[in-house]
């Protein structure tokens, strides 16, 4: 079985549970996403060490957003972890993005910096209230343009916005809020895995559908058997 072009979001209640997910799925997926819940929970160090031990990609999703100096200091504090991917909010501005990138280079980290465009939990009404722009595609394109100008490595965007940012060939595109199967949750701008990857995403983020399943490995293997001829798997 080839590896799924996906990061598994480790959002279980405890990192003991997250460790079990890593041990079950690491041979089959590109990497694992560690967000607030798991990063600030007990045993986070064990979780991160296990991901690195398994030679999976570590995606640290902390969405840094502050004045440039503070974001730079945060990245320096994370240098011992040296994640493969790290998120910042593009709305922090060009100076913040450039400062973050400069800190990564100064510390000689392998980390790729990813800018968050618009959270998948936000729709046009939310966008209008926050940014005075109700066209989410247009707003994401503006954020992607800023990311591209700042020199960061990639962006996080909804599957609905991928066609708007397709022209930015040099930016890695990771899409959260995707579905393997039909479900209802708190994300408003969602798409299916195959739609996201066919529309230009390099990787997707999958969480609850796998980690909440009693046998995520069998579920993923079954999914592979049904979809092995699609553009969902690494070479």
Phi, psi for 13 (deg, rounded to 5): -60, -35
For residue 121, the number of C-alpha atoms closer than 13 Å in the C-beta half-sphere is 2
Phi, psi for 27 (deg, rounded to 5): -70, -15
- Output the CA torsion 209→36→55→84 (10° steps): 120
Q: Which residues are annotated as catalytic?
A: 63
CA distances from 188 to 107, 185, 192 (A): 38, 8, 13
Q: Which two tokens stand for residue 74?
A: 């945060």
Q: Cα–chain-centroid distance for residue 169?
A: 18
């Amino acid at each position: 079985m080839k590896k799924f072009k996906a990061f598994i979001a480790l959002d279980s209640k405890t990192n003991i549970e997250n460790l079990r997910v890593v041990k079950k799925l690491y041979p089959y997926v590109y990497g694992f996403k560690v967000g607030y819940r798991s990063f600030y929970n007990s045993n986070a160090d064990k979780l991160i060490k296990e991901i690195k031990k398994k030679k999976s990609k570590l995606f640290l999703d902390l969405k840094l957003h502050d004045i440039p100096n503070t974001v730079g200091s945060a990245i320096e504090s994370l240098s011992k972890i040296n994640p493969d991917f790290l998120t910042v909010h593009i709305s922090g501005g060009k100076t913040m993005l450039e400062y973050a990138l400069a800190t990564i280079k100064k510390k000689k980290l392998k980390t790729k910096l990813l800018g968050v465009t618009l959270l998948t939990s936000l729709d046009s009404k939310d966008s209008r209230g926050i940014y005075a722009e109700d066209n989410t595609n247009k707003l994401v394109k503006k954020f992607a343009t800023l990311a591209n100008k700042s020199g960061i490595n990639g962006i996080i965007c909804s599957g609905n916005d991928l066609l708007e940012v397709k022209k930015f060939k040099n930016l890695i595109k990771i899409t959260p809020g995707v579905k393997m199967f039909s479900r209802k949750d708190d994300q408003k701008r969602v798409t299916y895995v195959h739609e996201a990857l066919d529309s230009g995403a390099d990787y997707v983020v999958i969480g609850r559908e796998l980690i909440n399943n009693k046998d995520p490995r069998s579920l993923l293997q079954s999914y592979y058997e049904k979809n092995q001829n699609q553009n969902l798997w690494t070479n």
